[in-house]
Structure 1
């Protein structure tokens, strides 16, 4: 086995070598799942396609020569998003390769896509079957091309999805170089992204000299020493590489957020102020707008018979299954020639449309249930279709029930901008609190993740269904997978502008400048638009790139801070070697063994999951000046009926860049009844009237966190 200072996938799956002197640790080779461009205008990097000289894009030269790596399903090298036209020589610090394939699929790297590798030994150990044609970094899924181009794809004019939504596609760092590390394969036992391969890819990316690693995948949260992504990302951060990950798509249930290590940036997903919409018009004059990206349109502009999908059920199908347009539940004799009203449920949007089409339906109105509320998606369906919200769905079913001859028409899709309110949270976006370390707020930030247009693989169709024979160089996808590379692209810009900033400083700059209000100046809401979203939904708020380049102050962290964090969790020397990568790991201070010390970890967010109602608690933070000299004053916002809180000192004066100062925050519970089985939220803000350095606060008095918010 090779040098133990390097982390290798073999540490994960060769359990019979656990006693070998060069093996640092052995843990289960767990499986991970993929978390499935008007964005930059929405986030003010440009306005109507014009880049202002004060924009982070302009200041950072569009991420010129930053190297962004993507751990995903590979890349489609022929995509215009990865063309090297106009690019100069590959940066001399690059040490990577374009991995030779077992058979020639024509995969060629260039001066934009400067490297590509694939890793599948861990997948094979888990029972995955690899054919010769699979041994390639080429993307046969589409997810990897989409996420990589979102982070750093070229500026591509005339991009469209199946001839619709024409416009200009671009990544967050469009002048950056990119490298694809293929770690995900066809699912086996529910997933195709294995820890062993992820670890190996991290090792390679570190060696190759990348600046940013974006990882839109994850699994069920686990202890850090048993989490390959947490270990791999720690080694990257140790080498000055920023790692950005997706929060997961298991929302809206509390405690579902994944990728919770404090050294990575964990990204939730929210909406844009753009919609791809169509209208469902009822014959009684009712017109309902919804999301649509259907290439086929109804053959004639006339009203067609409209029925509930339950009315088209087969004899053996249940009403509930037919209503959700599940496979084998729709009778062609009843559905043929009609528009079906289906209810959102377990099977995918695409499958519902397919089942409706198989049954002879001419169109589909997909109605949200109460849980999914106003979260509607534009999906490239195989028949004319529209997704409408819960309230409008009720109106459709009421119309069907009240009319003797209900009829409807679905218009073709159009693009609308300046939608309000926006953003609001995606209902699928995984939610905190952090179930591994409740004292660390996760997710960290939210970014656009709904109906995102980016490059796609032309080896597959845009729906992923076997019956769909269409191909498209671009596609629309939604998920925290799509939000993650938005942040990675902005990180590339910040790395270019501030090469001396640590990964923690960049994470802090992004978090403390986040926005918690939508474009109507109201607090950001969840997908129902009836409840306020909380830091467990959006972390520190919505990403604001231009503000992040000049945050004023940052909460910085050193490598020793991370080691002390692990010490506080009670990790033993063997566990610590996983992170240090050496047989002489960090020595834990004796006083670090109390979990109370986690509260003093210099995180930009403040989370107190177990405050005592009977005694005040004081936590410590330190701030570093990364801007001009300034005098910052503290302001704390917490419900005064529940808490008394004060900061000491209330004023911090900074004379020069790099100067650090410490402050204490003391909080005392005034009304313990208000804290029963719930979290209460607030914020701490430092300002010099130019910069606003904002930290979210979450407080509960639960000793056994119930995750009720």
Structure 2
């Protein structure tokens, strides 16, 4: 999910525990029981009476027999607006609470649940930063993802962008079952092509919301009125575009991670919200259409998987062998903030790149500070008075700001909006201070000479202002774009962190990927700031967030699917995880931006993706439908809850997992509470080209005083007759849970690796002691 940069998007990025989770009600009578709300009704198709020829006929009969016929505003045919038969069986409808209660116990109805969640939306250089090269390696060997179909669930697409040009692509793959949908300013025959092969929109819920809160750019069609969807789609699979930049910054050749993959857009979000019924319908359509990969940069407060529409929908995608990349969320660095934690998803956090857009702030005391900015206009070398305005919350700004540089203690999310206010008041420039130690220096397309400063430099500037009656400063810029001079990647502060609050035994996020100042396609009629009073337009724009890292991994999955069409989604995820790097471009351990301390698995998962190594991982941890069903059974779900994921009855009688941690996952997350020993079994499958191949064990356990890690056997031999091998891991705590007194003592980290002459297959582990 992208981090919205401006005030009118602030509600999108509040801590997920505080996000409003209520659907918009429509009162039809005076009683509270007569508000029409949205409900998802889960049915059992095997219980459909024989005299109903189709599910739709049966559902219509249910509505006619159970709903209040006196409500003239919403007659029966309009009550049902989605039917589902792929992700699960059922429908979404407008019902009152009284009517919904009448569905409970109705023959064939498994469950009735209010659809109350509003989900939120979570490059010229990133492909090169990932090590992709057109001459050799994964790009060349996968033919740039040729003919792999990536589905994007997002805000729509701007089809005129050069990133979606189809030159050089062959016919649309014959297996494709999807289509393009006409709508406002979107003509399927003109706007779709051999690149953009599918485009649909699902806004039945959001339409009502938008009618009451006018959106400047709203299209009842697949067309993108926000920019988020075009940005993510081109990041995953945009075509090659020469001369891409924003106001001269980041100039170069833009291309997606899988530039020859096909794109199918499923618009299920507006600029501010994504309704769960729309998301579920979009995923269902993508599964039916036959996408190979899904990119979902959307999420919200996590909940039990049987209540989570993304978990439900993507479980069906996994059953169809569809790889799903999902954003980890932007609520970091708070612990337990990661979402999209279902183990059949690949959950992606965000890291930085080695590209910056520096601007120097030269102070009157000859001190120089370095900030970040995408202001492309003229900058004077003359010193200008500084005026500190606190958080710049008092409007209109005082006349004193005329001709001066306004200095504001402002969060990233409102900085650009406030800089517009300074410009309107006659100010010369703007400096955003960042007093949060974990605040990253994002580059914003300011409309006047400006800079965003980091924490340390913000303190220095404020100290200077307080030290003199007449503080002055000037802006200086020697280069628009600098590459290769900063330490990267580092884990970005906003990137959501583990542990996994839903199932602590599954480590999330899985990996990190580039997510800061990513340049990608942008609608030509939307200002780069999304502010209505910004007259500028751009064909490319930078954006930041786990929304941007998510499509990078979707693109990588497309490359791997093209190169290894027989790999399952779990195998692709395993390849990405076990080959991920844990060092930066200076060969130092990955660090966390906020304090440059070593990154831990709760922030990076297995590490930063390394595409070239993922193409040949040697071994993979595979898993399929039955494994995930066993996993769900280990959560002690009821038969009713299990039926959300399985057709027919499922009483888990044959499940053999002692705990959720028994899933054949490429990482380990161990929770010690009442027991001091945890034991797990894993299965490795050989996918390399050389046999026989011998792997030897390597355990990295920096906390040997607190923890013993025993792995048996210590050597694995793979040959023509034994392409799969099992091993067991025993984690034994050497401390009593009730002696753990601090957060530092509450966790420990390490890794288990299998090494051959050709490959290193690494799995991180995270240990928690819970009182």
Alignment of 1:122 onto 2:205: yes
Partner of 2:531: 465
Unaligned runs of 5+ in 1: 310-322, 704-709
Name which of 115, 139, 162 aligns with 1:57: 139
Contact between 2:119 and 2:299, CA under 8 Å: does it hold in 1?
Answer: yes
Partner of 1:602: 664
Equivalent-residue separation in structure 2 for 1:112 and 1:599 (angstroms)? 41
What is the CA-CA distance between 1:657 and the residue it aligns to? 9.0
Distance 1:659 1:353, change over 3 A: same
Q: Which secondary structure does the structure 1 equivalent of 2:757 belong to?
A: coil
Report the Cα distance in structure 1 between the residues aligned to 2:594 and 2:508, rounded to whole angstroms: 21
Partner of 1:680 in structure 2? 748
Q: Aligned-pair distance for 1:590?
A: 5.9
Where does residue 288 of structure 1 map in the other structure? 369
Q: Find the residue that maps to 2:645 and give its secondary structure.
A: helix
Q: Distance in 2 between matches of 1:40 and 1:120?
A: 33
Aligned to 2:386: 306
- CA deviations 1:529-549 (Å, max 9, x no partner) are 432221111111001001111
For 2:754, what is the secondary structure of its paired residue?
strand
2:759 maps to 691
The whole-number CA distance in structure 2 between the counterparts of 1:467 and 1:234 is 43
2:152 to 41, 62, 70: 70
Instruction: Give the superposition deviation at 1:557.
Output: 0.4
Partners of 1:517 and 1:143 lie apart in 2 by 30
Matched, 1:668 2:732: yes
Per the alignment, residue 353 of structure 1 pairs with 419
- Structure 2 residue aligned with 1:28: 114
1:241-260 superposed matches below 5 A = 241-260=322-341
- Give secondary structure in 1 for the equivalent of 2:301: coil
**How far off its partner does 1:618 sit?**
1.5
Give distance in 2, aligned partners of 1:666 and 1:31: 41
Shift of 1:327: 5.3
Q: Summarize the Cα distance change of 1:437–1:305 in structure 2 as closer, same or farther, 3 Å threshold.
A: same
CA–CA separation in structure 2 for the residues paired with 1:476 and 1:228: 30
Is the contact made by 1:297 and 1:411 (CA closer than 8 Å) also made in structure 2? no
Partners of 1:308 and 1:518 in 2: how far apart?
A: 37
Q: Structure 1 residue 400 and structure 2 residue 486: aligned?
A: no
Q: Partner of 1:579: helix, strand, or coil?
A: coil
Distance 2:319 2:209 in 1: 29
Give the secondary structure class of the aligned counterpart of 1:184: coil
Structure 2 distance, partners of 1:303, 1:657, is 76
Q: Which residue of 215, 218, 221 maps to 2:299? A: 218
Q: Which residue of 2 aligns with 1:41?
A: 128
Q: CA–CA distance in 1 between the matches of 2:761 and 2:551?
A: 24
Does the CA contact (< 8 Å) of 1:97 and 1:115 recur in 2?
yes
| 8 Å CA contact 1:211, 1:241 repeated in 2 | yes
Partners of 1:289 and 1:640 lie apart in 2 by 42
Cα distance change, pair 591–448 in 1 and its aligned pair in 2 (3 A): closer
C-alpha deviation, 1:103, in angstroms: 6.2
- Does the 8 Å CA contact 1:686/1:694 hold for their aligned counterparts? yes
Name the SS for the 2:314 alignment partner: helix
CA contact 2:185–2:223 (8 Å) conserved in 1: no
Offset of 1:438 from its aligned partner?
A: 0.4
Check if 1:147 corresponds to 2:232: yes
Report the CA distance between 1:22 and its aligned residue. 5.1
Question: 1:67 Cα shift?
Answer: 0.5
> Equivalents in 1 of 2:623, 2:222: separation in Å?
35
Contact 1:324 1:352 in 2 (8 A): no
Match of 2:25 in 1: none
Q: 1:658/1:105 Cα in 2 relative to 1: closer, same or farther (>3 Å)?
A: farther
- Compared CA separation, residues 304 and 125, structure 1 to 2 (3 A): closer
1:372 Cα offset (Å): 2.5
Residues 560-571 of structure 1 mapped to structure 2, 5 A cutoff:
560-571=626-637
Query: Larger deviation: 149-158 or 83-92?
Result: 83-92
User: How far apart in 1 are the matches of 2:182 and 2:764?
Assistant: 48
Residues 513-532 of structure 1, C-alpha deviation per residue, up to 9 Å, x if partnerless?
11111122222111124322
> What CA deviation, in whole Å up to 9, does each residue of 1:641-668 have, x standing for no partner?
1112210111111113982111111121
**Which residues in structure 2 correspond to 1:513-592 (within 5 Å)?**
513-580=579-646, 582=647, 584-589=648-653, 592=656
Deviation at 1:246, TM superposition (A): 0.4
Contact kept? 1:443, 1:539, Cα under 8 Å: yes
d(CA) in 2 for partners of 1:484 and 1:241? 15
Structure 2 counterpart SS, 1:636? strand
Q: Deviations over 1:160-180 (max 9, x none)?
A: 113433211110100011011
Q: CA RMSD in A?
A: 2.2
- Counterpart mapping for 1:410-559 below 5 A: 410-412=475-477, 414-559=480-625
Q: Which residue of 1 aligns with 2:393?
A: 326
The residue number in structure 1 matching 2:704 is: 640
Q: Describe the shift of the 1:455–1:591 C-alpha distance in structure 2 as closer, same or farther (beyond 3 A).
A: closer
Alignment-derived partner of residue 716 in structure 2: 652
- Contact in 2 for aligned 1:280/1:365 (Cα 8 Å): no
Q: 1:335, 1:360 within 8 Å by CA — same for their partners in 2? A: yes
Is contact 1:684–1:695 with CA below 8 Å preserved after alignment?
yes
2:196 aligned with 1:113: yes
Q: Which residue of 2 aligns with 1:238?
A: 319
Residue-pair matches, total: 672
Task: Provide the secondary structure at the position in 2 that maps to 1:245.
Answer: strand
* CA–CA separation in structure 2 for the residues paired with 1:230 and 1:12: 17
Contact 2:351 2:516 (C-alpha < 8 Å) held by counterparts: yes
Cα offset for 1:233? 0.6
Preserved contact between residue 10 and residue 196 of structure 1 (Cα < 8 Å):
no
CA distance in 2, matches of 1:9, 1:588: 20
Contact 1:271/1:425, CA 8 A, preserved across alignment: yes
SS at match of 1:401: helix
2:353 equivalent among 272, 291, 299: 272
Deviation at 1:381? Answer: 1.0
Which residue in 2 is equivalent to 1:261? 342
Q: Distance in 2 between matches of 1:535 and 1:696?
A: 7
Q: CA deviation at 1:676?
A: 5.4
CA shift for structure 1 position 297: 3.1
Instruction: Deviation per CA, 1:119-177: give whole Å up to 9, x if none.
Output: 01233476865999732100010000000000000011011113433211110100011
Matched residue SS, 2:672: coil
CA displacement 1:452-478 (0-9 Å, x = unmatched): 000011231110111101111100000
Match of 1:206 in 2: 287
**Distance in 1 of aligned mates of 2:698 and 2:211:** 55
Query: 137, 141, 157: which is aligned to 2:222?
Result: 137
CA 1:578/1:464 → structure 2, altered by over 3 Å: closer, same or farther?
A: same
Where in structure 2 are there 5+ consecutive unaligned residues?
1-54, 57-82
